Amino acid sequence: MSDTTISLSRWLIEQERTHGHIPGSLRLLIEQVARACKRISHAVNKGASAGIMGSAGSENIQGEVQKKLDVIANDVLLEANEWGGHLAAMASEELERIHVIPHRYPRGEYLLMFDPLDGSSNIEVNVTIGTIFSVLHLADGVSEVGPEHFLQPGRQQVAAGYCTYGPQTTLVLTLGHGVTVFTLDSSQGSFVLTQEGLRIPESTREFSINMSNLRHWAPPVQRYIDECLQGKDGPRGKDFNMRWVGSMVADVHRVLARGGVFLYPWDRREPDRAGKLRLLYEANPMALLVEQAGGMAMAGTERILDIQPTSLHQRAAVMLGSSEEVALLQKYHQEAQ
Ligand code: AHG
Ligand code: MN
Ligand code: MN
């Protein structure tokens, strides 16, 4: 490691000491999450050689079959964050109820939410997967922490980020002062700073949506995608490219890295469900990152970060990325009202 390399730990200490952007307890929390992500990354890398591929033979609260790696990643995150004294409780895609910090450990002032393994359908095919996380502050004066304390609008997140397990293990983080990227240097076993002040280009020619659901979408989404598909000859006057990895972390990472728009909209198959993705530990952390990078994140006409959650595992429609495109989508939704 050269002298100019800045590790995640050093960067976090500078955020605390020099910029006053975070208190020490939040710094420790982020370090613990990063440590857990390193352990998950090692497990993912070992794959079939460690016998951790395939189904765990159980279902989570969403009725989805859990993969062994979903369970391993969830356990790693719970274990790493339980004893440090910085948390009051955790919530996970893989747990029906919140996990309150046991009495044998000191109780902290933060709440942590996570999708331990995002993109689990891509585990078997060796395609990028990841961990998504979000941090909230527990309201003052709470003696018994309950699920209701997690039901805060996403704009109140004090930190959010994700880690991708792909060709590189990358940690993308916001503390509400822009977006910073760290890459795991596996020879050193530490995350090193690789990009600060990440910005999403305002314009793009790339969209990301599961096209197989086209016939089920609402008219504004159909209109938007139809106009993209018309390319140069249509109202947009330019050709578009399409990408769909099927792991939100990988698709959103591409949007952050080079622009684009990512959509997982409401569709008429389950009209009572807002969308497929979960608000608290998928949509909200990604929305904060995207806004902090100068993009937009909407759920139709409403900003994702302004949604008042009503339950722990609720879903949200998601349209995020380059601001010109998301603003156009918002306009089409407003016109259809
Ligand atoms: P998870 O693996 O945590 O359940 O999340 C899967 C999500 C998300 O990562 C991705 O964008 C989407 O499901 C893919 O959905 P399709 O199956 O429609 O492609
Ligand atoms: Mn997910
Ligand atoms: Mn998951």
Tens of pLDDT along the chain (337 residues) come to 456 899 999 999 999 998 888 999 999 999 999 999 999 999 999 988 888 888 888 888 888 888 999 999 999 999 999 999 999 999 999 999 999 999 999 999 999 999 999 999 999 999 999 999 999 999 999 999 999 999 999 999 999 999 999 999 999 999 999 999 999 999 999 999 999 999 999 999 999 999 999 999 999 999 999 999 999 999 999 999 999 999 999 999 999 999 999 999 999 999 999 999 999 999 999 999 999 999 999 999 999 999 999 999 999 999 999 999 999 999 999 999 9
Query: What total number of domains does the chain contain?
Result: 2
Quick one: pLDDT at residue 65?
85
| 163-168-171 Cα angle (round to 5) | 25
Residue 250 within any structural domain of the chain: yes
Q: Please tell me whether residues 143 and 260 are part of one structural domain.
A: no
Cα separation, 326 vs 320, whole angstroms: 6
Of the residues 175, 195, 215, the one at which a domain ends: 195
Q: Please tell me whether residues 149 and 228 are part of one structural domain.
A: no
The angle, 0 to 180 degrees and rounded to 10, between the axes of the packed helices 219-230 and 323-335 is: 130
Q: Measured from the CA of 121, which atom of ligand 1 is nearest?
A: 2
Residue 2 within any structural domain of the chain: no
Quick one: pLDDT at residue 230?
98
Of the residues 195, 222, 255, the one at which a domain ends: 195
Q: Please tell me whether residues 136 and 224 are part of one structural domain.
A: no
Query: Which CATH number does the domain housing residue 284 bear?
Result: 3.40.190.80
Question: Which tokens is 157 given?
Answer: 């997140």
Pocket test for ligand 1, best of 114, 121, 279 (most atoms within 8 A of CB): 121
Question: Which tokens is 46 given?
Answer: 């070992």
Q: Please tell me whether residues 189 and 292 are part of one structural domain.
A: no
Q: Please tell me whether residues 51 and 172 are part of one structural domain.
A: yes
Question: Which tokens is 55 given?
Answer: 């189904």
Quick one: pLDDT at residue 3?
65
From atom 18 of ligand 1, which residue's Cα is the shortest distance away?
Answer: 210
Q: Please tell me whether residues 188 and 233 are part of one structural domain.
A: no
Q: Please tell me whether residues 241 and 133 are part of one structural domain.
A: no
60 lines ligand 1 (CB under 6 A): no
DSSP string, 107-146: --SEEEEEEEEETGGGTTTT--EEEEEEEEEPPTT-SS--
38 CA → ligand 3 middle, Å: 17
Q: Measured from the CA of 247, which atom of ligand 1 is nearest?
A: 9
Cα separation, 277 vs 190, whole angstroms: 31
Cα separation, 255 vs 307, whole angstroms: 22
Q: Please tell me whether residues 40 and 130 are part of one structural domain.
A: yes
128 lines ligand 1 (CB under 6 A): no
Q: Please tell me whether residues 120 and 188 are part of one structural domain.
A: yes
222 lines ligand 1 (CB under 6 A): no
Q: Please tell me whether residues 65 and 191 are part of one structural domain.
A: yes
Ligand nearest to the CA of 64: 1
Quick one: pLDDT at residue 243?
98
Q: Please tell me whether residues 172 and 267 are part of one structural domain.
A: no
CA separation, residue 118 to residues 66, 67, 216 (Å): 12, 11, 24
Query: Which CATH number does the domain housing residue 124 bear?
Result: 3.30.540.10
The angle, 0 to 180 degrees and rounded to 10, between the axes of the packed helices 68-82 and 24-46 is: 150
How many C-beta atoms surround the C-beta of residue 192 within 10 A? 18
Q: Which helix (H) or strand (E) holds 229?
A: helix 219-230
Give me the amino acid identity at 241. N
Cα separation, 321 vs 158, whole angstroms: 21
From atom 19 of ligand 1, which residue's Cα is the shortest distance away?
Answer: 246
Ligand nearest to the CA of 278: 2
183 lines ligand 1 (CB under 6 A): no
Ligand nearest to the CA of 276: 1
From atom 17 of ligand 1, which residue's Cα is the shortest distance away?
Answer: 246
Contact 74, 115 (CB under 8 A): no
Structural domain boundaries enclosing 243:
206-335
Of the residues 171, 195, 219, the one at which a domain ends: 195
Residue 93 within any structural domain of the chain: yes
Q: Please tell me whether residues 176 and 230 are part of one structural domain.
A: no
